[in-house]
Amino acid sequence: MNEQWLEHLPLKDIKEISPVSGGDVNEAYRVETDTDTFFLLVQRGRKESFYAAEIAGLNEFERAGITAPRVIASGEVNGDVYLVMTYLEEGASGSQRQLGQLVAQLHSQQQEEGKFGFSLPYEGGDISFDNHWQ
């Protein structure tokens, strides 16, 4: 990722970019600006729709009142796609009980005609599947 690529991002006054490890699907970076810190995901050679389901899922988390990164922007630069989100510092691990409660909270949201699924298919790295309402 070079300066010219970074100039296309909707972020101003970038001070520092550092790789973030832990994932296996995206290139991930912590991006610091003069005013804030962001989380940047990059997929090389994908269509802009690659992040559509992830964006929709993060928006559902927010709608359900679950703390998750907030989507700032997504787009395409020179044949690569990106997703910019707020950066959440790692906190203390919660319990499995708390995780179960959050999952239940998410799944208790009103869904399409009471069906199971999601409005967009899942696409991630080498794994993709239809996620239509059933």
Instruction: Note whether residue 115 is domain-resident.
Output: yes
Strands 80-86, 14-19: pairing is: unpaired
User: 3-state DSSP call for residue 131?
Assistant: coil
Instruction: Note whether residue 128 is domain-resident.
Output: no
Instruction: Note whether residue 42 is domain-resident.
Output: yes
Mean predicted confidence (pLDDT) in 74-93? 91
Q: Given this model, what pLDDT does residue 28 score?
A: 96
Instruction: Note whether residue 131 is domain-resident.
Output: no
Predicted TM-score (pTM) above 0.75: yes
Banded pLDDT at 125 (limits 50, 70, 90): low
CA within 13 Å, CB half, 103 = 6
| Residue 97: domain span | 3-122
The total number of structural domains that make up the chain: 1
Q: What is the CATH number of the domain that holds 44?
A: 3.30.200.20
pLDDT tens, 38-66? 999 999 988 888 898 889 889 988 888 88
Locate 83 and state its tokens.
Answer: 């997703």
Instruction: Please enumerate in sequence order all residues whose Cβ is within 8 A of that of 93, keeping only pairs 6 or more positions apart, or say none.
Output: none
